[in-house]
Amino acid sequence: MLFSKKKNLGIESEDMNKIVADSGITHIAFIMDGNGRWANKRGLPREAGHGVGVKAFKKAVTLCRDWGIKTVTTYAFSTENWKRPPQEVREIMRLLDEYIKEAEDDNEKNHIRYIFLGDKERLGEELKAKCLYLEGLTRDNPLTLNIALNYGGRAELVSAVNSLIAEGKTEISEEDISSRLYTKESPDPDLIVRTGGEVRLSNFLLWQSQYSELYFTDCLWPDFDEMELRRSIIEFSKRKRRYGGV
Ligand code: IPE
Ligand code: IPE
Ligand code: MG
């Protein structure tokens, strides 16, 4: 207890609006990993970890918004996550469905524009329609929340290139590719935070992460709280971004 208090010393009193503004961070992305392990450690089924993970996610989004970060992206379900047991996939989709309904109800007060990154076809007609409806409903809101759902960085690149081929292009630029990605409405992420202790991107934002700062923490996603979020952004604010220059 004493140790964790010491570790947090000063962090809780930092003015995050100022740190966010001074650091220039406009886009933060989360690889929300560790839900299953969080649950297993407590003798609970993996699904329970996803439920608590949604709560942590909502808190993180609210804090980012209040601190002035304009774009948040989160990795909710990858193209590879279909390999999981059917009941786990079903529960993740049910939680998403519930989340979408709440987002609709809270639209007036949240000011969030929702964009789903990924191929919606595999989600089934009902969930796909709900995603499209929420995107349309929130289109004019000022803050963006990208939810990567059935998302894979490679699939995204392949689909971008295929759409350029379909348009008849025989030569393409970096701008052409960027403008066909699911993230075309957003700047590249300044910071990518991965919880859960793994040090990899797992097919997330492969193109967009070119010069993103990466932050890895052992904290399991359901435990990712305000202190953890503050710590990641404060660490980002100390990084020197050179983009290949000096
Ligand atoms: C959440 O964490 C990520 C999702 C795919 C929803 P995991 O479910 O991967 O949790 P761990 O890594 O097995 O602990
Ligand atoms: C990455 O987590 C995907 C999401 C957070 C949705 P995984 O748990 O699927 O990644 P790996 O399998 O450890 O690389
Ligand atoms: Mg995992």
Q: How far apart are CA 163 and CA 32, in angstroms?
A: 30
Q: Calculate mean pLDDT across residues 104-131.
A: 97
- Decide if 111 contacts 143 (C-beta within 8 A): yes
Which ligand minimizes its atom distance to the CA of 92?
A: 1
- The CATH code of the domain at 2-8+15-237 is 3.40.1180.10
Q: Which long-range contacts (CB under 8 A, 24 or more apart) does 51-58 make?
A: 51/91, 51/95, 52/222, 53/221, 53/222, 54/95, 54/98, 54/99, 55/222, 56/32, 56/221, 56/222, 56/223, 56/224, 56/225, 57/30, 57/32, 57/221
Mean pLDDT of the chain: 96
With a 6 Å cutoff on the Cβ, whether 78 touches ligand 2 is: yes
- Percentage of the chain modeled with pLDDT above 90: 96
- Decide if 175 contacts 59 (C-beta within 8 A): no
Q: Calculate mean pLDDT across residues 41-53.
A: 98
Task: Output the pLDDT for position 1.
Answer: 45
With a 6 Å cutoff on the Cβ, whether 236 touches ligand 2 is: no
Confidence of residue 10 (pLDDT cuts 50, 70, 90): confident
With a 6 Å cutoff on the Cβ, whether 153 touches ligand 1 is: no
Q: Calculate mean pLDDT across residues 30-47.
A: 98
